[in-house]
Amino acid sequence: MIEYLKGELVDRSPTSSVIEVNGVGYVFNNTINTFEALNQQKTVQIFIHTAIREDAHTLFGFATQAERAMFRSLISVSGIGPSSAIAALSSYSPKQLQESIMQGDVASLKKIKGIGAKSAERIIVDLRDKLGGEEGYFDNFGGQSNTIRSEALRALRNLGFDQRKSQKIVDETIKANDESISIEDLIKLSLKSL
């Protein structure tokens, strides 16, 4: 699996772009938000989601990990494909989508091309609990501690720990230690408290 590609941006458009890495050009589909973030940049780092089907290997590229995380959350919902997820992230930021989902705002989600009332309701039902403990994760700003915090929360979630309990422990661990704590130490100390 490709985590990210770093190289020269050789072509960009509102729907897809090309990044050259060591002489190989990779085409990836992108959102309008990523398209705007890549404006005037030569060397870029793009976070990748790879979709493999019988007839195609498709790359989806995002300017931020938060945008990719929301894309992955959206496509985990039954009936929501990559096209609808890209449309959603072209219409709203990850933080705005999270707020709409948490507030049960069907009307905002219905404004997205390809998402009707039933799909909007399904997104809310499926993702409300999953995104509830991700406060701050979908912000496009924040310092080093926010990045370390979100990485630690993701690691603990992948290990099967409850999201809300993990969030509380991670926040307490960051407060009790210097904010420049390493990701490894943060996870180890949090595991001891869980």
Domain covering 144-193 in this structure, CATH number: 1.10.8
Split at pLDDT 50, 70, 90, the class of 120 is: very high
DSSP 37: H
Asked if 4-62 and 144-193 have one fold, the answer is no
Q: Tell me the pLDDT of the chain averaged across its residues.
A: 87
Distance CA 194, CA 184 (A): 15
CB 102 within 8 A of CB 160: no
**Topology (CATH level 3) of domain 4-62:** OB fold (Dihydrolipoamide Acetyltransferase, E2P) (2.40.50)
* Distance (Å, whole) CA 140 – CA 161: 25
- Mean pLDDT score, 128-137: 66
Closest CA to 65 of 128, 149, 166, 127: 149
Domain ranges of the chain: 4-62, 65-132, 144-193
User: Domain 65-132 belongs to what topology?
Assistant: DNA polymerase; domain 1 (1.10.150)
Long-range contacts, 85-91 (Cβ 8 Å, 24+): 86/29, 86/30, 86/31, 86/60, 87/112, 87/113, 87/114, 87/115, 88/112, 88/115, 89/31, 89/33, 89/62, 90/14, 90/31, 90/32, 90/33
Mean pLDDT of 28-53: 92
In the numeric block, which tokens belong to residue 99?
């707020």
DSSP 2: -
pLDDT at 100: 92
Which stretch of 3-17, 29-43, 167-181 has the lowest confidence by average pLDDT? 167-181
pLDDT per position as a tens digit, 142-180: 344 456 777 788 788 778 887 778 888 888 888 888 667
